[in-house]
Chains A and B, each alone.
Chain A
Amino acid sequence: MTLLLALPLLTVTDANAHGRRHGCDVDDLLEDYLDLFNDRATDWTHVLDEDYTVESPYGTYDLAGWQALTGGAWTAMPDVQWSLVRAVESGDKVALEYSFAGTFQADFLGIPANGASIVGRGMEMHQIDRSACRIVQTWNYSDAYGFFAQLQ
């Protein structure tokens, strides 16, 4: 992923060798994960388990529900891009800190667009099924606090 590779990644990879032995390169999986968002992918099942669930400040979602919410963000910020800030990996868990930047061009969750440049950060913890090399569950802690402040 061009954008991601261009960034100064700070990735702690002490368990990566373990992952490769089992045929699941977590670095690649995380790149694919961010590509889902940055490339506006429609099929997410090569990265996320079909019974994937995510718990977030906005609620608990299954795969389809999370895709729908993300689609709303894509509409509101057509130019939004997500970037990896740092990842910490151990065993079947990966903590991923990310940032995003975009322009608020269409209404989002009832808030009218204001054309502002939006930047934000968040952190997720992922549970990985290494045998399938899929993310099966995510706990998302996006900075909704800072995000909504910028939408006003």
Chain B
Amino acid sequence: MIAGGCTVEYPSPMAPRRSPTLRLATGTVDLVRQRFQRTDGAAVPLTAREARLLEHLADHVGQDVDRDALLVQVWGHRSVSLSRAVDTTVARLRRKIEQEPTSPRLLLTVHGHGYRLVPDDASAVAPVQGPPPRPPLRLPRGHHGRCIPPRHAMNDPTTEARGLALAYLSVLNERRIDAFADVLGDDLVSHLRVGDIVGLPAFVAVMEMCYDAFPGVIWEVDELIVTHDRAVIRYHFDAVQRGAFLGIPASHRMAHLEGVEVLHVRDGKVREIWNYADIMGLAAQLGAERPLALQM
């Protein structure tokens, strides 16, 4: 995300891989803003999952899409489950995009199988011009050529918090340990489920352990919300464990981890982090004989 050293592109993990806008007979879906603009003028917010589901169905427009495949492709489940998440989300979507939700014409049930998105007419599902991409947040170079938050961002605390959160993700994902100090305070305290990490050097040590354990790890952002002094990042990663992690020897298994972090921003640096992640679920995926918590 830091390109050419000092340019941060806004991460848009929820952004669609195809056109960001879908046109349906009943209105227009903005997949980026997660909003359905009805033809009667009403704007209806969509959840991230609803937008993702619509995007996936639009990629297979006119085709029957298996419910279990949706759980894997849209929900990220790693195996078939008995979850009713697809059905409840479809029901909610129908109330938003259908004229008669009880008699759907766009989002049809394929009994015993799944769902199918059907256009009302030839142009019902058609990519149209999306909004221009957001300009990258450029980070000027500071001492030793390191990136620092832009001065204009300092004038707007919310922009500063967003910029720092993005820079934080960039240095983590690019393993730029030399740049950690640009975004993280020396007095950083990181509250992890396995204990508190006090000080930047200790944080670096933990990250090096993560990089050794999961060499291909990339933290993908599912949601980023910011206020004047906090940023909340909901994230996930999929990576193969190649080294020991929290006492679990290298399993060479692919693991999926989801979590959320709250960053406390002060004086241009991230000062405190609260992390909640499904560590126990991760341990189970890595083949720990007992849940990790029980080994403590």
Please list the residues of chain A having a beta carbon within 8 angstroms of any beta carbon in chain B: 12, 14-15, 49, 51-53, 55, 57, 59-60, 62, 65, 86, 88-93, 95, 97, 121-123, 125, 127, 129-131, 136-137, 139, 141-149, 152
Contacts and interface: CB of A to CB of B under 8 A. Distances in A.
Contacts of B1: none
Interface stretch (B45-53, B55-63, B180-188): B45-53
Given A15-B227, A141-B258, 13 more contacts: A12-B228, A53-B85, A60-B81, A86-B262, A88-B230, A92-B45, A93-B225, A95-B225, A97-B262, A123-B262, A136-B47, A144-B293, A145-B293
Interface of B: 45, 47-49, 75, 77, 81, 83-85, 88-89, 91-92, 158, 193-194, 223, 225-230, 232, 234, 258-260, 262, 274, 276-281, 291-294, 296
A141 B278 contact: yes
A146 B49 CA distance: 29
B47 A90 contact: no
A117 B230 CA distance: 32
- Most chain A CB inside 10 Å of its own CB: which residue of B45, B88, B226: B88
Contacts of B277: 141
B293 A49 contact: no
Contact of B92 (A49, A55, A125, A142): A49
Nearest to A142: B276
Contact of B259 (A90, A136, A141, A146): A141
A59 B83 contact: yes
Given A51-B92, A125-B223, A57 B260 contact: no
A121 B89 CA distance: 28
Given A122-B276, A145-B280, A146-B193, A90 B91 contact: no
Interface SS of B by simple majority: mixed
Contacts of A131: 45
Contacts of A129: 45
Given A51-B88, A92-B45, A137-B49, A144 B278 contact: yes
Contacts of A144: 278, 280-281, 293
A60 B83 contact: yes
A60 B274 CA distance: 24
A144 B260 CA distance: 14
Given A62-B84, A122-B276, A136-B47, A53 B89 contact: yes
A95 B262 contact: yes
A52 B92 CA distance: 9
Nearest to B292: A145
Given A51-B92, A125-B223, A143-B193, A60 B85 contact: yes
A54 to B, nearest CB: 9
A62 B88 contact: yes
- Most chain B CB inside 10 Å of its own CB: which residue of A53, A92, A146, A149: A53
Contact of B276 (A53, A86, A123): A123
Contacts of B92: 49, 51, 136
A8 B84 CA distance: 38
Contacts of B279: 145
A90 B280 contact: no
Nearest to A124: B260
A136 B44 CA distance: 13
Nearest to B263: A88
B294 A152 contact: yes
A14 B48 CA distance: 22
B294 A149 contact: yes
